[in-house]
Amino acid sequence: MKKRQNGRERKFIVYESHLLRLFASCPSCTSPTLGEVQQVKGSCVTILQDCGLCGFKTSWCSQPFVGAIPAGNFEISCALLFSGSLPSKTIRMFNFMNLATISYRTFMYHQQCYLHPAIVDVWKNQQAAYIRETLDSGQPVQLGGDGRADSPGHCAKFGSYTMMDLMKNLVIDLQLVQSNEVGSSCLMEKEGLVRSVHFLEQSRLVISQLVTDRHLQVAKWVRENMPNTVHNIDVWHVAKGLKKKLVALSKEKDCQDFVDWIKSIVNHLYWVPSSTPEDEEDEMKWEKWSSILNHIQNVHDGHGDHFQRCEHGDLGPDARQKRWLRPGTKVVEKLESIIDSRQMRKDIPKLSPTVQTSNLEAYHSVINHFAPKMNSFSYKGMQSRLLLAAMHYNENSAKGQAATKDGNLQYRIVFPKQKKGEFTVQKIKQANWFLTTPCHAVKKATLLLRLCVTSTSTQRRMLL
């Protein structure tokens, strides 16, 4: 039987009655004895065995100790935080089982004194390794930035801003901003960007391109303070707002035939930047975008000076699946106001032609596992969970696609909530992965705990 798994000792749930059976006889004279539970400290139990016949007396403990802290209690705190679990729910589950465990107060103490410093230390080491590697390469970085509030609406307490290397698909910096630092939750995203950019500039990284959403404060700050950086807008954020307007238009009276064109118009928006080289003029992007208004009216040439003709082939009766819209109708006039709006004239030239922030949005879903928006956390608790989410994402972002025994790549069909019943095809990632970050953090936390145990009171305050 294997005693260890992945180099770590296994633990088992043992009932009290079965445990006391091991102390039913004296190991010295084999006479019947009665072991009794002397102390329960979290998940650690101490049993006293006393033989009244031969005088044999011993005390047995179920766990090793690190200083005065049982190792099992400390590992429970580590497992709770590093797995993204909520301590209140987990401890309540243990209480329902009548399973001896640590208290919520004990977990908070371990987190504040040992776990949080260990997580920050591991993150800074990984961050410093990325910066050294990037500086050695001598190449500028292409970054994506986005903010996230800890709760929906305008009552958020914390706002985090994430910078991701879009070419390497790695989270490289996280800034946590509290709303009372900037006066309002609406100002947290810009402040997070400012702090992150200042940190990266102090680290001597050159930012050649920054892709963000359409946040007006962010756009203005980048325009005024980063003149040598190309600022682009992520296409998905523009497409999301555009689709809402198109769906609302299709629900109006005499506009029902427009429903079939919504998906095509959104796809056309994605095609505009991806098909336009970076050295092309902004007029080319705009003429490509505005050509969709002619296309849906069965006009396929004469769009403009730079983009004169549609690039699709012949659209005969067999190839065409949607009805052409008639000129001068209500739906065409309202669609023109959407396509030719002031907002779209600002956004279309700035759409990112290559890299997007889709991976950054995927990282936000990882944060939802470690720090759900329906739960509140302290500042250090939120920071720890954000860093854990970043390290978890970085270690698994390079996972390859799963394949069958025959070598065929695997895919799956999913029905995302935002598609409202429509499906999409996703790659199945490799399932066999080993997350090393918690192990590093456990080692760091245990080392910090041992240092605190062996240090003086003055040294202990310096460590914490």
pLDDT in tens, 214-240: 999 999 999 999 999 999 999 999 999
* Residues 399-413 as b or e (16 or more Cβ within 10 Å = b): eeeeeeeeeeeeeee
Structure tokens at 427: 């790659």
Q: Are 268 and 384 in contact (CB under 8 A)?
A: no
Residue 380: inside a domain: no
Residue 80: inside a domain: yes
Residue 261: inside a domain: yes
Strand partners, 351: 233
Q: Which candidate, 121, 161, 119, places its Cα nearest to that of 144? A: 161
Structure tokens at 350: 């700035």
* Residues 10-39 as b or e (16 or more Cβ within 10 Å = b): eeeeeeeeeeeeebeebeeeeeebebeeee
Place of tokens 């301590």: 87
In a shared domain, residues 340 and 418? no
C-alpha triplet 161, 166, 167: angle, nearest 5°: 155
Place of tokens 């079939």: 260
Residue 126: inside a domain: no
pLDDT at residue 432, as a whole number: 53
Helix axes 379-396, 358-370, angle to 10 degrees: 130
Residue 93: inside a domain: yes
Q: Are 222 and 229 in contact (CB under 8 A)?
A: yes
Q: Which residues of the chain have pLDDT under 50?
A: 1-3, 6-7, 433-434, 454-464
Residue 345: inside a domain: yes
Residue 380 φ/ψ, nearest 5 degrees = -70, -35
Give the domain extent around 61.
15-101
Task: Report how far residue 344's alpha carbon sits from residue 337's, in angstroms, rounded to the nearest whole number.
Answer: 10
pLDDT at residue 1, as a whole number: 43
In a shared domain, residues 256 and 342? yes
* Tally of structural domains, the chain: 3
In a shared domain, residues 261 and 345? yes
pLDDT in tens, 297-321: 888 888 888 888 888 877 766 666 7
In a shared domain, residues 329 and 240? yes
In a shared domain, residues 342 and 418? no
How much is the pTM? 0.86
In a shared domain, residues 312 and 405? no
Sequence-distant (6+) residues with CB within 8 A of 268 are 289, 292
pLDDT at residue 437, as a whole number: 56
Task: Report how far residue 366's alpha carbon sits from residue 364's, in angstroms, rounded to the nearest whole number.
Answer: 5
In a shared domain, residues 249 and 340? yes
In a shared domain, residues 260 and 345? yes
pLDDT at residue 337, as a whole number: 93
Burial class (CB in 10 A: 0-12, 13-18, 19+), 462: exposed
Task: Report how far residue 74's alpha carbon sits from residue 122's, in angstroms, rounded to the nearest whole number.
Answer: 18
Task: Report how far residue 70's alpha carbon sits from residue 382's, in angstroms, rounded to the nearest whole number.
Answer: 26
In a shared domain, residues 411 and 312? no
Residue 62: inside a domain: yes
pLDDT at residue 464, as a whole number: 43
Residue 286: inside a domain: yes
Instruction: Report CA 271 to chain centroid distance, whole Å.
Output: 28
Q: Are 254 and 330 in contact (CB under 8 A)?
A: yes
Task: Report how far residue 384's alpha carbon sits from residue 145's, in angstroms, rounded to the nearest whole number.
Answer: 20
Phi-psi sector, 57: left (phi>0), alpha (psi -120 to 50), beta: beta
In a shared domain, residues 265 and 332? yes
Task: Report how far residue 210's alpha carbon sits from residue 172's, in angstroms, rounded to the nearest whole number.
Answer: 13
Q: Between the CA of residue 305 and those of 178, 298, 375, 383, 423, what are the distances in Å?
A: 50, 19, 55, 53, 39
In a shared domain, residues 269 and 333? yes
Structure tokens at 398: 């390079």
Q: Between the CA of residue 441 and those of 21, 436, 459, what are the distances in Å?
A: 38, 9, 21
